[in-house]
Amino acid sequence: MDEMEEELKCPVCGSFYREPIILPCSHNICLACARNILVQTPEAESPQSSRASGSADYDYLDLDKMSLYSEADSGYGSYGGFVSAPTTPCQKSPNGVRVFPPAVPQPPPQQHLLQPPGSFPPIPRNSCITCPQCHRSLILDERGLRGFPKNRVLEGVVDRYQQSKAAALKCQLCEKSPKEATVMCEQCDVFYCEPCRLRCHPPRGPLAKHRLVPPAQGRISRRASPRKISTCTEHELENLSMYCVQCKTPVCYQCLEEGKHGPHEVKALGAMWKLHKGQLSQALNGLSDRATEAKEFLVQLRNMVQHIQENGVEFEACLVAQCDALIDALNRRKAQLLTQVNKEHEHKLKVVRDQISHCTVKLRQTTGLMEYCLEVIKENDPSGFLQISDALIRRVHMTEGQWGKGTLTPRMTSDFDLTLDSGPLLQTIHQLDFVQMKVPAAPILQLEECCTQNNSATLSWKQPPLSTIAVEGYILELDDGNGGPFREVYVGTETICTVDGLHFNSTYRSRVKAFNASGVGQYSKTLVMQTSETGLPPCDIQSIGSVAWFTFDPSSAHPDILFSNDNLTVTCNSYDDRVVMGSAAFSRGVHYWEITVDRYDNHPDPAFGVARADVLKDVMLGKDDKAWAMYVDNNRSWFMHNNSHTNRTDGGVAKGSTVGMLLDFTRRILIFLLNDEQQGPVAFEGLEGAFYPAISLNRNVQVTLHTGLPIPDFYTPGEVDPTGSTC
C-alpha cells in the first residue's frame, strides 16, 4: 500500500488529491491546483479548432499544435507571442514538477465587491491549462474547469487509504516490524496480533477470564476509562493488599484465608514495594558502575580514533614526502595514470548510479500504477470506471513497453578495462607505476668462509635466497674485542671483507646489515670470532681456549619461550618442549659455557647441546639432524642426534644443578659436564661448520646461562691440524 501513495498525490501540491478532476490527457489534478496554474492567452492565439475541455471528441492533433512545452527547456512556457508569460517566474512543486504561479488578472473593483466571500474568482476567457505531467495544453471553453469530469474513483481510493492509515493499530509485542493488531486485552491493556495472542495470551489458565475486545473498541475504552486498581486474578472483587514471600507475588486477603498462600509468609504490599525499590536501587548502583566503565572505555576508543587519525595524517605526510622525492618524470606519469583511473572510476560509478536511480523511479511508478489499477478494479461504479479504463490500459501497456527496451541490462561492467604494462619498466622510468620499495632483509653470514688469521678477521655474507628486494650496499660492524659497543668498519657493495689491525687474543662480535633507498634493514645474527695469541702462526687460534660472551637469542627462539635477566634466564609457558639458541655461533676454537637449573618440577627432560641455525624449534633438542644434545631427567641422561639415543649414563639434575658444554673444534668433539664432572664419554665427534649453543625445555624448567668461562682444568685441548684445513 505504501508504494501506491505516490499515485494518490497531486503532482502540483504534493498532497493527497482533493476534489480531483480528469484532464483530457487522462492525468489527474486537484481542482484548486488547476485554478492556480491557469494561464490567460491572447484572443488571436486561441485555436479555432479547440473544443470544450470536457468534450469526448478531444482533438490531440490540435492539442499538440498549442502545446506550451519546449524541447529546449526542462519546464514549459507559454505561446511565442504571449506578453505576460515570459515575465512570470516558474515555480517548482513538491513532486519536482515546474508550474506557473497564478496568472489570473485582478477583477475590476466593482466585480470584486459583488463576489461572495470564500468563492473562487471567475475564470477569464481564453484561459489555458497545461498538464503538469505530460505538458499538453488546452484552451478552456465557457464552462471553464467545470467542463472536466470529477474522478470519483480516485477520491474514494484516497479516502479509504487515509482511513486505513489512521485506523491501523499495531501489535505491541512484535519484535521487529509490528503487525496489525486484531484484539486488545482489557486486563493486560495490550494490543495483540493473532500470532502474538496465541503465543502470549492463550485462552486457558488464569488468562481465560480476561476480556478480549476489537482494537478500535479497546482504543476507545483505553482513552475513556482510567486505569483500574489492581485486583486479584483469582478473586476479581478483591484488591491486592499483601505480598507472598515464598511465591514472590502480590495476593489478596481472600487468598490468605482460603487459597494456597495461607501457610506462607506474607508481608504488607507497601513495605515490600519500598524494599524492592531499595534493592533495585542498589542493583542499579552496580549497573551504574558498569555504565561508568563503559563511558570511560568509549572515551578510550574515541582517543584511539584520534590517535589513528593523527597517525594516518602523519603516515600520509610521509607518503607524500616520499612521492615528492621521486623524479619529476615519475610524478607526471603517476598523475596521468591516476587521472585515467579516476576518470574510468567516476564514469563507471556515474553510469551505474544513473541506471539505479532510473530503474528505482521506474519501479516505484510501476508498482504504484499496479496497486492503483487493482484498487480501480474493485470499484462498482461502471460509469466512473469506464471514464478512466482506456487511459489506464494505455498507461499499463506503455509502462510494460518501457521495461522491454534493454532497461534490465547493465550498461556498464564492474571490471576495469585497464591493464598496467610493467615490461618497459626495465628500459624507461616513464612506465614505472605503483612500485613499493622496502628495506632489505637481514643478510646471512656464510660461516664456512668466515675465519681469523693472526690479528685479522675475514667475514662473508649473502642475501636470503628468496629475497627480491634491491640492495645498494652493506654495513659491517664489530665491537671493541672486550664486549663494548659496535662500530662500523666497512660500508660498501662487496659481500666479503677482511678487517686488519685487531687485538691479538681477543674475542670480537660481528654483524652486518643491508641498506637501500628505503632505509636500513635488520642485522644478521651475531658471529663471535677469536683472534690469535701474539707470535703464534696462522690458525694456531684453534689451540687456544676462546672466551666468548653471549646470551639467549629472542629473535630465533620459539614464541613460547619467556626471557628475563637480560636474556640470560629462560623458561617456557608450554608443557611441550621448545628450543632456544644462543646469540653467537662458533666455528673455530675451543668454547665452554654452563647452564644452571633454577627450577625443576615434575621430573621433566630438558636437553642441552648445540644446533644449526635451522633446527626445529617445537620439538626436543636432538630430535632432528640439526642438533646434538644430551637430555637428562632426575636420575640419568642420554645423548641424542637425529632421534637416535645413545650412552645412557646414571646421574640426573635437580634444582641448583649445573650442566656444562665443551665444544672443541680442534678435535671436532662435544663433551658434557654435570656438576663439574664429565657426564659419560665424548658425546659427539666429527663436528664441522657453525654451531649455536642451544637448549630445549618446557614450563617445568627454568635455567640461567653463564658465558665467558675458562676451559675446565681437567681438559687439554687437542693439537692443531697440520694441514690447516680448519681455517
- For residues 147 and 175, membership in a common domain is answered with no
**Range(s) of the domain holding residue 596:** 561-706
Transcribe 511-551 into DSSP letters. EEEEEETTEE-----EEEEEPPPTTPPTTGGGGSB------
Q: Is the dihedral of CA 559, 561, 565, 567 positive or negative?
A: negative
Decide if 211 contacts 187 (C-beta within 8 A).
Answer: yes
pLDDT at 313: 86
* The predicted structure's pLDDT at residue 677: 92
Spatial separation of the C-alpha atoms in residues 442 and 521, rounded to whole Å:
6
**pLDDT given at position 492:** 92
Q: For position 238, which CATH number holds?
A: 3.30.160.60
From 352, 383, 403, give the residue that closes a domain: 403
Would 546 be classed as within a structural domain?
no
CATH assignment at residue 484: 2.60.40.10
Q: Is 273 inside a domain boundary?
A: no
Q: Same structural domain for residues 3 and 151?
A: yes
User: Is residue 467 located within the same domain as residue 517?
Assistant: yes
The 10s digit of each residue's pLDDT in 560-608 is 999 999 999 999 999 999 999 998 888 777 889 999 999 999 999 999 9
Torsion 277-278-279-281 (CA) sign: positive
Q: Name the residue type at position 509.
A: R
Q: How far apart are CA 663 and CA 647, in angstroms?
A: 18
pLDDT tens-digit readout, 132-184: 888 888 888 777 887 787 887 788 888 878 766 655 678 888 888 888 888 88
| The predicted structure's pLDDT at residue 327 | 66
The total of structural domains in the chain comes to 6
Q: Split the chain (727 residues) into runs of 10 and give each run's mean pLDDT.
A: 78 90 89 84 45 40 37 35 36 48 47 48 72 86 78 83 68 84 86 88 83 72 51 74 84 80 84 85 84 88 88 75 69 80 86 87 89 88 86 87 77 75 59 61 90 85 86 92 89 90 83 91 91 48 50 92 94 94 82 94 94 93 95 94 93 94 91 94 91 94 91 74 33
Q: What is the amino acid identity at position 9? A: K
Query: What does the alpha-carbon distance between residue 443 and residue 522 come to, in Å, rounded to a whole number?
Result: 8
Q: Which residues of 324-363 are buried (b: 16+ CB within 10 A; e: fewer)?
A: eeeeeebeebeeeeeeeeeeeeeebeeeeeebeeeeeeee
pLDDT the model gives residue 726: 31
Predicted TM-score (pTM) of the model is 0.33
Angstrom distance (rounded) from CA 450 to CA 586: 10
Number of neighbours of residue 166 by Cβ within 10 angstroms:
7
Return the pLDDT at 71.
35
Sign for the CA dihedral angle at 684, 689, 693, 695 comes to negative
Question: Is 514 in contact with 478 (CB distance < 8 Å)?
Answer: no
Cell 495472542 sits at which residue?
197
User: Is 604 found in the same domain as 697?
Assistant: yes
d(CA 660, CA 680): 13
Q: What pLDDT sits at residue 437?
A: 62
Residue 49 lies in a domain: no
Structure confidence at residue 283 (pLDDT): 86
| pLDDT at residue 533, rounded to an integer | 65
Indicate if 247 and 155 belong to the same structural domain. Answer: no
Shared domain check, 231 and 214: no
Is 213 strand, coil or helix?
strand
Residue with cell string 615434575: 602
Cell numbers for 88, please give them. Answer: 512570470
Looking at the structure, tell me whether residues 213 and 302 fall in a common domain. Answer: no
Does 158 share its domain with 9?
Answer: yes
**Does residue 289 belong to any structural domain of this protein?**
yes
Q: What is the pLDDT of residue 29?
A: 92
- Same domain for 153 and 8: yes
* 579 in the same domain as 698: yes
List the Cα angle 371/392/367 in 5-degree steps: 25
Answer whether 588's CB lies under 8 Å from 542's CB: yes
* 294 and 357 belong to one structural domain: yes
CA distance linking residue 720 with residue 715, whole number of Å: 16
Q: Residue 201: its pLDDT value, please?
A: 87
Q: Are residues 519 and 394 in the same domain?
A: no
Name the strand (E) or helix (H) holding 400. Answer: helix 382-402
The pLDDT of residue 218 is 62
**Assigned domain for 412 exists:** no
459: left (phi over 0), alpha (psi -120 to 50) or beta: beta
Cβ atoms of 447 and 612 within 8 Å: the answer is no
User: Tell me, what CATH number does 589's domain have?
Assistant: 2.60.120.920
